[in-house]
């Protein structure tokens, strides 16, 4: 499976899916004009990658996420949680947020609450 890198724009995050090095990174803001079109290839890659057992680290640093992107992220977390529960994958998720960004912190806490079978670590950083 090949690595995917999507460079960030003013409305979309940087995304790296690197199966060989067992790392996923998603950083920036997410409010694309058409969320489903933007995330289509990412979702396909996740469905393929997590169809089998995998041990991987995920680094998320989302400054802002609109409601349609948030729905996509819930779908992504569902894929990850199903991989843990059904395939016995080991997925370590670091949710990095700026100490000044209460909304990003709360979003990470919400994901921790909604996806109890995932290993989500909140990581505070200073701007």
Q: Is 65 helix (H, G, I), strand (E, B) or coil?
A: strand
What pLDDT, on a 0 to 100 scale, did the predictor assign at position 37?
97
Residue 5: pLDDT over 80:
yes
Q: Tens digit of pLDDT for each residue in 46-64?
A: 999 999 999 999 999 999 9
Which residues contact residue 10 at a Cβ distance below 8 angstroms, ignoring those fewer than 6 apart? 29
Q: Tens digit of pLDDT for each residue in 61-89?
A: 999 999 999 999 999 999 999 999 999 99
The CA distance from 110 to 119, in Å, is 13
Consecutive H or E run containing 79: helix 67-87
What pLDDT, on a 0 to 100 scale, did the predictor assign at position 39?
98
Residue 126: pLDDT over 90:
no
Residue by residue, DSSP assigns 5-64 as EE---SSS-EEEEETTTTEEEEEEEE--SSHHHHHHHHHHHHHHHTTS--EEEEEEEEEE
Q: Is 94 helix (H, G, I), strand (E, B) or coil?
A: strand
CB atoms within 10 A of CB 69: 21
């Amino acid at each position: 499976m090949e690595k995917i890198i999507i460079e960030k724009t003013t409305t979309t995050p940087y995304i790296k899916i690197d199966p060989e090095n067992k790392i996923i990174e998603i950083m920036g803001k997410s409010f694309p004009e058409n969320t489903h079109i933007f995330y289509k290839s990412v979702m396909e890659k996740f469905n393929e990658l997590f169809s089998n057992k995998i041990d991987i680290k995920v680094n998320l640093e989302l400054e802002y996420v609109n409601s349609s992107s948030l729905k996509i992220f819930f779908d992504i977390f569902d894929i990850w949680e199903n991989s843990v529960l059904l395939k016995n994958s080991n997925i370590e998720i670091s949710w990095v947020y700026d100490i000044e960004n209460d909304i990003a912190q709360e979003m990470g806490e919400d994901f921790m609450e909604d996806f109890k079978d995932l290993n989500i670590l909140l990581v505070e950083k200073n701007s």
